[in-house]
Amino acid sequence: MTPGRVVLGHWPTPFEKVQRLSAAIGREIWFKREDLAGAALGGNKIRQIEWLLGEALAEGADAVLTTAGAQSNFCRALAGSAAKLGLACTLVLRGPAPPSQGNLLLDAVFGAEIRFVESADPWDPSLAAALDEAARSLRARGRRPYVIHLPGVSAPLAAQAWAVAAEELDADWRAAGIEPGTIVVAAGSGLTAAGLALGLARLGRRCQVRAVSVQQPADRLGPWIADVVRRAADRAGWALPPTLKLAVDDAWIGSGYAIPSEASLSALLRVARSEGVVLDPAYTGKAMAGLIGALHKGVLPEGPVVFLHSGGLPGLFAAADAVAAAATREVAPA
Ligand SMILES: *Cc1c(COP(=O)(O)O)cnc(C)c1O
């Protein structure tokens, strides 16, 4: 079944050259501003949600459910998007329950029903079980729930959304008259990177997708991305491209998922102080640290570098103490 897409964001998102950062690090850098995607405070999840909720509406759903970490940008974007479409939203979050701030605060502001399950692993079967249980209780109350499980059943469609988004990047690059050698993207579930790699390959672009992992080791994330590419192409009815230009970099995870690292905070301050653009410590800060690190190591293919600013701003406020400490310690850009 080919689902329709429900438009929630403001497209195309801005595509801009960052002059001072480019000059400071000695390579032409462009930002794709998914943080400005418009709906529900934006981010890379909006395009995925447009396709997922398109399918939910086509199936006649009146409620949506998903599971992720407490500071999930996806859950916040889903809660806000569901509100706009008049759908009920239930979030099964990995606990224990932290203070209500950042994305978790916004989930409540958007009116989502929030449940916590004690777990640290997004692949934990008890999360899928809790989702099923929440869906069952909604059905028992006469609702028609649509279940989203990003690392599970929803992965191919969410990746397909980003394969389609590659067409917008292709148009951006045409308009700017550039042929980027690399696009750097923070990778959590890896669905955005998978979709981009698939979409750019279909368009015959030579651009390499550099997935900077924020959670999983490369030997787990790399094969998973390749598998998602296959399933997304299959679902969309597209031929699998003969080659994928994909590099997975797991050197920037630091102490763990969503824990701000020194490199991430330093990259965040550098971009804020040279461009007035705010990254987040859990995703985009680590991806920018990876971009700068790869440039220093000389491992980036030639040509302009595109940085996918995938959003995540509420996470900065959830990590305010670490960010504030770094901001007062580092008085000038590194
Ligand atoms: C979810 C997220 C990512 C990673 O996207 P995946 O498709 O899960 O790899 C990157 N940046 C931000 C801000 C995110 O919220």
Q: Please choose from 35, 189, 268 the residue to mutate so as to test ligand 1's pocket, defined by most ligand atoms within 8 A of CB.
A: 189
Whose tokens are 């690292």? That residue is: 261
Per-residue pLDDT of 163-219, as tens digits, reads 999 999 999 999 999 999 999 999 999 999 999 999 999 999 999 999 999 999 999
Atom number, ligand 1, closest to the C-alpha of residue 150: 8
Task: Exactly one of 22, 72, 255, 274 is catalytic; name it.
Answer: 72
Q: Do the Cβ atoms of 40 and 110 come closer than 8 Å? A: yes
Determine the pLDDT at residue 159.
98
Pick the residue whose CA is nearest to atom 15 on ligand 1.
Answer: 73
Q: Is pLDDT of 110 > 80? A: yes
Please give the domain boundaries of the chain with CATH numbers for all domains.
15-43+159-327 (3.40.50.1100), 45-148 (3.40.50.1100)
Q: Which of 71, 69, 57 is nearest to 280 (CA)?
A: 71
Atom number, ligand 1, closest to the C-alpha of residue 191: 7
pLDDT bin (cut points 50, 70, 90) of residue 1 is very low
Whole-number Å distance between alpha carbons of 88 and 135? 12
Atom number, ligand 1, closest to the C-alpha of residue 185: 10
265 is written with which tokens?
Answer: 């905070």
Q: Which of 311, 71, 63, 50 is nearest to 158 (CA)?
A: 50
Beta-carbon contacts of residue 323 (< 8 Å; ≥ 6 apart): 260, 265, 268, 281, 316
Determine the pLDDT at residue 276.
97
Count of CB atoms situated within 10 Å of the CB of 193: 31
Ligand 1, residues at Cβ distance < 6 Å: 43-45, 73-74, 186-193, 280, 283-284, 310-312
Per-residue pLDDT of 253-284, as tens digits, reads 999 999 999 999 999 999 999 999 999 999 99
318 is written with which tokens?
Answer: 């959830």
Whole-number Å distance between alpha carbons of 275 and 269? 10
Pick the residue whose CA is nearest to atom 10 on ligand 1.
Answer: 186
Atom number, ligand 1, closest to the C-alpha of residue 312: 13
- Sign of the alpha-carbon dihedral angle for 87, 93, 96, 97: negative
Determine the pLDDT at residue 128.
87
pTM: 0.95
Whole-number Å distance between alpha carbons of 16 and 273? 17
Q: Is pLDDT of 15 > 50? A: yes
Tell me what the mean pLDDT of segment 1-26 comes to. 91
Q: CA torsion, points 317, 320, 323, 329, in degrees to nearest 10?
A: 150
72 is catalytic: yes
Whose tokens are 């079967």? That residue is: 125
How many whole angstroms from 44 Cα to the centroid of ligand 1? Answer: 6
Q: Please choose from 13, 191, 310 the residue to mutate so as to test ligand 1's pocket, defined by most ligand atoms within 8 A of CB.
A: 310
pLDDT bin (cut points 50, 70, 90) of residue 52 is very high
Whole-number Å distance between alpha carbons of 235 and 131? 24
Whole-number Å distance between alpha carbons of 278 and 47? 21
Per-residue pLDDT of 143-171, as tens digits, reads 999 999 988 889 999 999 999 999 999 99
pLDDT bin (cut points 50, 70, 90) of residue 331 is low
Whole-number Å distance between alpha carbons of 188 and 194? 11
Q: Do the Cβ atoms of 18 and 175 come closer than 8 Å? A: no
Whose tokens are 């770094």? That residue is: 326
Tell me what the mean pLDDT of segment 96-116 comes to. 95
Burial class (CB in 10 A: 0-12, 13-18, 19+), 69: buried
Average pLDDT, the chain: 95
Tell whether omega for the bond before 314 is within 30 degrees of 0, i.e. cis.
no
Q: Please choose from 123, 192, 308 the residue to mutate so as to test ligand 1's pocket, defined by most ligand atoms within 8 A of CB.
A: 192
